[in-house]
Amino acid sequence: MSDVNAAPAKVHVSLGARSYDILIGPGLLQRTGAEIAARLPGVRAAIVTDSNVAADHLAPLQESLAAAGVESAAITVAPGERSKSFATLEEVVSGILDARLERGDIVIPLGGGVVGDLAGFASGIVRRGMRFVQVPTSLLAQVDSSVGGKTGINTVHGKNLVGVFHQPQLVIADTAVLDTLSPREFRAGYAEVAKYGLIDRPDFFAWLEKNWQAVFAGGPERVEAIAQSCQAKADVVARDELEKGDRALLNLGHTFGHALEAATGYDSARLVHGEGVAIGMALAHRFSARLNLASVDDAERVEAHLAAVGLPTRLSHVPGGLPGAEQLLTYIAQDKKVSRGALTFILTRGVGQSFVAKDVPASEVLSFLEGALSQ
């Protein structure tokens, strides 16, 4: 699997007319042009990337496209969550229109989840929906944000409150580009990998407990972990494309996590998405234990694994301090996974046994948060 010329792993996302493949393996960036030309003959492309990713990976992608005869323009935005804004969306949309792309042409988000969400959204609204091919370059984007068609930006009201469901034509995850990702960002993405085990794949979680070092080091375990994660996500998405039911399970750890991101002003120096999710998953397991749904042992097992890979697991791990429990609850209530005023959480009966809990009383959350803030 570490042979650059080996056939990539492939995961299929089954969504009827909107189905697509995810290709996973080292060195795929160099084959992106050929894969696109074979599947979407004659298209032109607008690459959207951020300046961090552009430094190492834009030129190889451009060369690969050119070699396959795919004309491309490039649009580079500032790195970081703040680019998921109306202002940057407008810039990206303008860039795509400046390139005079037509409806059948493609946008290629080359980057992490920020670029994927932003440029995926842009591709969903330019000419009321262009095609796009995700080339995720962060671990989080490869195992999560590039798969499933959720796109969007943030507003002052909260994260991802504005966007569209828009499925890509193809996802190309080059596992070798992750070598330029900072260890902190790799760990953050790993939180989402662990999440799939915690949702409903206890064997995968146990495999990760044994093999996480190899996943971090690269090689076949990395491809395996990413393919397993994509398969897990693809399964959920196929069951519930528009997040009306089951898909909510993917939000394990995210209700708390999003509140923490909002509370830290989306400042990545303090907290990145996956770190928020890691703390959120630890909290979800502890909250479930407190509600007598799961055992304290399971909560401790989860916390131990996340801590072993170097992820934060407690509110006190967030540098710079947090607002009080009341304010955190306000952030939670504004999060979009709120249905008609009742609080919806993903809770668990143990490792790999998560479920959607509706009507969780706000008072329970509040007193749990008060306790958690003092730990």
**Active site residues per annotation:** 128, 150, 192, 233, 243, 247, 251, 254, 258, 273
> What distance in Å separates the CA atoms of residue 32 and residue 23, rounded to the nearest whole number?
10
Residue with tokens 């490039």: 74
Task: Based on the shown chain and the rule CB under 6 A, indicate whether residue 177 belongs to the binding site for ligand NAD.
Answer: yes
Interface positions, 185-244, toward a second copy (CB under 8 A): 242-243
Smaller CB separation from a second copy, 98 or 203: 98
Contact flag: residue 362 with a second copy (CB under 8 A): no
Backbone angles phi, psi at 131, to 5 degrees: -85, 160
Q: Decide if residue 175 touches ligand NAD (CB under 6 A).
A: no
Residue (of 156, 180, 152, 179) closest to 164 by Cα position: 152
Is 159 a residue that touches ligand NAD (CB under 6 A)? yes
Q: Identify the DSSP state of 145.
A: I
Segment lying near ligand NAD (by CB under 6 A), choices 93-101, 180-188, 220-228, 365-373: 180-188
Question: Exposure pattern of 60-87 as b/e (b: 16+ CB <10 Å)?
Answer: bbbebbeeeebebbbbbbebbbbbbbee
In contact, 187 and 310? CB cutoff 8 Å: yes
Q: Is 108 in the site for ligand NAD (CB under 6 A)?
A: no
Q: Are 249 and 200 in contact (CB under 8 A)?
A: yes
Burial of 316 (0-12, 13-18, 19+ CB in 10 A): middle
Which of a second copy, ligand NAD, none lies near 249, with the C-beta cut-off 5 to 8 A by kind? none
Backbone angles phi, psi at 348, to 5 degrees: -145, 155
In the list 124, 189, 197, 253, the residue contacting a second copy (rule: CB under 8 A) is 124
Measure Cα distances from 337 to 82, 224, 315 in Å: 22, 31, 21
What are the tokens at 197?
A: 């085990």
Q: Considering only residues 19, 51, 155, 213, which one is a binding residue for a second copy as defined by CB under 8 A?
A: 155
Residue 88, both tokens: 């940057």
- Give the footprint of ligand NAD on residues 262-291 (CB under 6 A): 272-274
| Residue 145 binding result from ligand NAD, a second copy, none, given CB thresholds of 5 to 8 Å by partner type | ligand NAD
10 is in an annotated binding site: no
Closer by beta carbon to a second copy, 163 or else 352? 163
Positions touching a second copy (CB under 8 A) are 42, 86, 89-90, 93-94, 97-98, 100, 102-104, 124-129, 150, 152, 155-158, 161-165, 242-243, 334, 336, 338-340
Positions touching ligand NAD (CB under 6 A) are 50, 52-53, 56, 79-81, 84, 111-115, 117, 137-138, 140-141, 144-145, 148, 150, 159-160, 177-178, 180-181, 185, 188, 272-274
